């Protein structure tokens, strides 16, 4: 298995633009997590899904952020409109049911100018 796949790996955009981050979890994993990591705040859980259903989105910073998981092999995290303070590395991770061993993707480094 190729592991968790994220795209793009790097994104540089201007304030106000829409940003879409993509994630393909490991096949067979039932949980998918979106994280954001910054120097100031560390690693933060934004939202997670179980069997494609959002379970807890309390970590999503505000309405500009949205996440979807239309099927078991694909998820998106969208920021619209983006702001400079959204600049961070965004990780996607997946895990099996009842397993805490989450496997992380390589991350997307987002820079909003």
Partner 1 sequence: EDKVVQSPLSLVVHEGDTVTLNCSYEVTNFRSLLWYKQEKKAPTFLFMLTSSGIEKKSGRLSSILDKKELFSILNITATQTGDSAVYLCASSPNRDDKIIFGKGTRLHILP
Of the candidates 113, 106, 112, 36, the residue with the CA atom closest to the CA atom of residue 77? 36
What is the C-alpha to C-alpha distance for residues 54 and 68, in angstroms, rounded to an integer? 8
Instruction: Tell me: does residue 53 bind partner 1 (CB under 8 A).
Output: no
Binder of partner 1 out of 52, 64, 74, 103 (CB under 8 A): 103
Using CB under 8 A, which of the segments 17-25, 68-76, 79-87, 90-98 binds partner 1?
A: 90-98
Tell me how crowded residue 77 is: count the other CB atoms within 10 A of its CB. 24
User: Coil, helix or strand for 61?
Assistant: coil
Site string for partner 1, 18-37 (x = CB under 8 A): -------------x-x----
Instruction: Tell me: does residue 52 bind partner 1 (CB under 8 A).
Output: no
Peptide bond into 8 cis (omega under 30): yes
- In the complex, minimum distance from the CB of residue 110 to partner 1, in angstroms, rounded to a whole number: 15
Residues in contact with partner 1, counted by CB under 8 A, come to a total of: 23
Q: Which is nearer to partner 1, 22 or 81 (CB)?
A: 22
Report residue 103 as tokens: 């496997």
Spell out the residues 6+ positions from residue 2 whose beta carbon is closer than 8 angstroms to its own: none
Instruction: Tell me: does residue 102 bind partner 1 (CB under 8 A).
Output: yes
């Amino acid at each position: 298995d190729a592991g968790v796949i994220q795209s793009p790996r790097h994104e540089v955009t201007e304030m106000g633009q829409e940003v879409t981050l993509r994630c393909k979890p490991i096949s067979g994993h039932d949980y998918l997590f979106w994280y954001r990591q910054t120097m100031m705040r560390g690693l933060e859980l934004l939202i997670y899904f179980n069997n494609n259903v959002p379970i807890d989105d309390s970590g999503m910073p505000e309405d500009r952020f949205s996440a979807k998981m239309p099927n078991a092999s694909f998820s998106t995290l969208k920021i619209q409109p983006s702001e400079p303070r959204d600049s961070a590395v965004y990780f996607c991770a997946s895990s099996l049911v009842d397993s805490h061993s989450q496997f992380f993707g390589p991350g997307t480094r987002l820079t909003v100018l």
